Structure 1
Amino acid sequence: MSNDEENDNPEFASPACLMHEVDPAYMGLEPQEPDVVAWRREERRRLIEIRTQRPLVEREERTRSLCRRLDSLLPHSMNKTISVYWPLAGEPDLRDWMHSLDARGATCLLPVVIQKNCPLVFRPWRRGEALEKGVFNIPVPIRLEEQRPDIVIAPVIGFDSDCYRLGFGGGYFDRTLASLGSRPLVIGVGYEFQRMESIRPQAHDIPMDVIVTDQSLIVRERSRSLVSWHLDA
């Protein structure tokens, strides 16, 4: 996602999946403490700077290791719709891995911002198909077909060992996953050097089911049954 998201709403930290996980004020929950908002804003800046300053060759090698761990998690053959993302600001570039998913029977989707502060939609995309610039100048598929993802893969700016994700803060995943009804499997991806002691989660922050990095694969204990259901179905 774009850095512009942070300016839309600084109160979100990680993707959510139920209605009570949307904007805390909208749902009657307490907003984040001001010091947490300021701390997260500074952590985003710091971690993005660290990530973008790492040499490209190092990020590429770390991404290959990350993809191998994703492959160890997901079945070799799968009839699933999987939302990935277009890489920005030094995020792991999974586009080659997306191509391998297509060969394994999966349908790859890209998230599309239709309007600021509204849920994302997901459009199928294969390598070589036409793209156009969308909101925030993020490339999006031209064809307007929309599908619901079984699995959502989201890049992290930071994460902790409890699978909480620090994102750009715009709340797009929160709104989107809340609007999907049944919960997809949500996987956060990033580099091991983005691990934090804690993102200082608030009452409305919901952890991801799995975090995958170039050095580790963390499955949240309370999500194990959900992970098994999605991957075995």
Structure 2
Amino acid sequence: MQTKSTRRGLGAGLATVLLLAGVAAFAGGNSAVADANTTTAVSAGPATFTQAVPAGQPSQYNLPLERCANGVNYPISGANPVLSEPVTTQFASNVGLSEHVTFSGNQYYGTWQIVFTNTSSEVLSTDCALLVFRAPSGSDNHGYTSTQQYGHPQEDYLEVPRGDGTSFYIVRLDFHDVPLNQRQVASGQSFTYFLAGAPNSAITLAQIRDSLKFTADLDLKSNQSLVQHYGTNRLSN
């Protein structure tokens, strides 16, 4: 299954985003095929890293494995701080990843897929990872897929319009009710964040790619300080 969110759903609650198989084909090895609808791949982050392993079993909500299973909204007053922060112009990550962006659709509507491949020598848990990137405003469909067939992710999510036809999108990936291995991406494997909406000439695929900052949760602190800093909303399951 794959579920979708709509702009209406963002107000009333987001349907679950579920894991799917078969995304590895988009990764294209070390680089993506360069054409009008696909960027080349760029890489960032260290080849090795240390990521704390959470204790607990699925549905044990008081233990670290389920640390991001439940969440609340963190409204902030005034302008969102992301609007005053330096714009990321080169893909950044605290773990070894490559990333490229593909687009399918037309001038009226389409889907962007931000495809990551674990280029490190470590197994990466994407649980509680935070993504910040820029893309056309008004996305009405977004979610997560992976070469891992199973899992139960949801999101802490926020769109912050810039007023120029683009928005910042701030997303924390939150898993629950599945074992650790269903939250992980092995070395060489891929995962994808996708969003859909109307294209806008204010931003290119390469600029979307280069705007992204990926922060894996390495210390079991859930990227909580960033979630609260940006005032994300918990999207319902």
Report TM bin, short chain: under 0.3
Q: How does the TM-score come out when normalised to structure 1?
A: 0.27
| Greater helix share, structure number | 1
